[in-house]
Amino acid sequence: MDKSEIMARFGINVEERDITPTGNGHINDTFKVTARPASPFDYILQRINHHIFTDVDALQSNIENVTAHIRGKLEKKGEHDIDRKVIKVVKEKSTGKSYFFDGESYWRVMVFIDDALTRESITPENACHAGEAFGQFQMMLSDIPDKIEESIPDFHNMELRLRQFSDAIDADKAGKRKEVAALIDQLIERAEHACLAEKLFREDRLPKRICHCDTKINNMLFDRNGEVLCVIDLDTVMPSFIFSDYGDFLRTAANKGDEDDRNLDRVEFDMEIFKAFTEGYLKVASDFLTDVEIENLPYAVERFAYMQAVRFLTDYLNGDTYYKTAYPEHNLVRAKAQFKLLQSIESHKPEMEEFINSIKR
Helix-helix angle 181-189:297-317, to 10 degrees:
150
- DSSP letter (8 states) at residue 255: B
**Contacts for 95 with CB less than 8 Å, ≥ 6 apart:** none
Binders in 6-25 for ligand GN1, by CB under 6 A: 25
Using CB under 6 A, which of 10, 53, 100, 112 touches ligand ADP?
112
Nearer to Mg ion, 232 or 297 (CB): 232
Minimum distance, C-beta of residue 321 to ligand GN1, in the bound complex (Å): 12
Minimum distance, C-beta of residue 113 to ligand GN1, in the bound complex (Å): 17
For the chain, how big is the Rg over CA atoms in Å? 20
Instruction: By CB under 5 A, tell whether 219 contacts Mg ion.
Output: yes
- In angstroms, the CA 211 to CA 232 distance is 13
Contact 105, 47 (CB under 8 A): yes
Nearer to ligand ADP, 4 or 30 (CB): 30
**Stretch of 98-106, 112-120, 178-186, 339-347 lying at the interface with ligand ADP (CB under 6 A):** 112-120
Instruction: By CB under 6 A, tell whether 82 contacts ligand ADP.
Output: no
Using CB under 6 A, which of 63, 110, 127, 356 touches ligand ADP?
110
Binders in 231-250 for ligand GN1, by CB under 6 A: 233, 236
Instruction: By CB under 6 A, tell whether 27 contacts ligand GN1.
Output: yes
- In angstroms, the CA 88 to CA 75 distance is 14
- DSSP letter (8 states) at residue 89: E
Interaction partner, residue 30 (Mg ion, ligand ADP, ligand GN1, none; CB < 5-8 Å by kind): ligand ADP
Nearer to ligand GN1, 89 or 294 (CB): 89
Using CB under 6 A, which of 4, 8, 30, 139 touches ligand ADP?
30
With contacts defined by CB under 6 A, how many residues of the chain interact with ligand ADP?
18
Binders in 212-241 for ligand ADP, by CB under 6 A: 218-219, 221, 232-233
Helix (H, G, I), strand (E, B) or coil at 127: helix
Nearer to Mg ion, 25 or 247 (CB): 25
Minimum distance, C-beta of residue 295 to Mg ion, in the bound complex (Å): 30
Instruction: By CB under 6 A, tell whether 26 contacts ligand GN1.
Output: yes
With contacts defined by CB under 6 A, how many residues of the chain interact with ligand GN1?
11
Task: Tell how strand 106-111 and strand 100-101 pair up.
Answer: antiparallel
Kindly state the helix (H) or strand (E) to which residue 198 belongs, with its residue range: helix 196-202
Using CB under 6 A, which of 32, 34, 36, 52 touches ligand GN1?
52
Residue 208 φ/ψ region, left for φ over 0, alpha for ψ in the -120 to 50 degree band, beta for the rest: beta
Question: Measured on CA atoms in the order 70, 75, 219, 113, is the torsion positive or negative?
Answer: positive
**CB-CB neighbours of 169 under 10 Å:** 18
For residue 7, the number of C-alpha atoms closer than 13 Å in the C-beta half-sphere is: 24
Interaction partner, residue 259 (ligand ADP, Mg ion, ligand GN1, none; CB < 5-8 Å by kind): ligand GN1
Binders in 39-58 for ligand ADP, by CB under 6 A: 44
Return phi, psi of residue 59, to 5°: -60, -50
**Binding pattern to ligand GN1, positions 308-327, x when CB under 6 A?**
x-------------------
Instruction: By CB under 6 A, tell whether 259 contacts ligand GN1.
Output: yes
Nearer to ligand GN1, 82 or 319 (CB): 319
For residue 260, the number of C-alpha atoms closer than 13 Å in the C-beta half-sphere is: 15
Return phi, psi of residue 47, to 5°: -90, 120
For residue 292, CA distances in Å to 136, 213, 234, 297 come to 20, 19, 27, 9
Name the residues that contact Mg ion, by CB under 5 A. Answer: 25, 219, 233
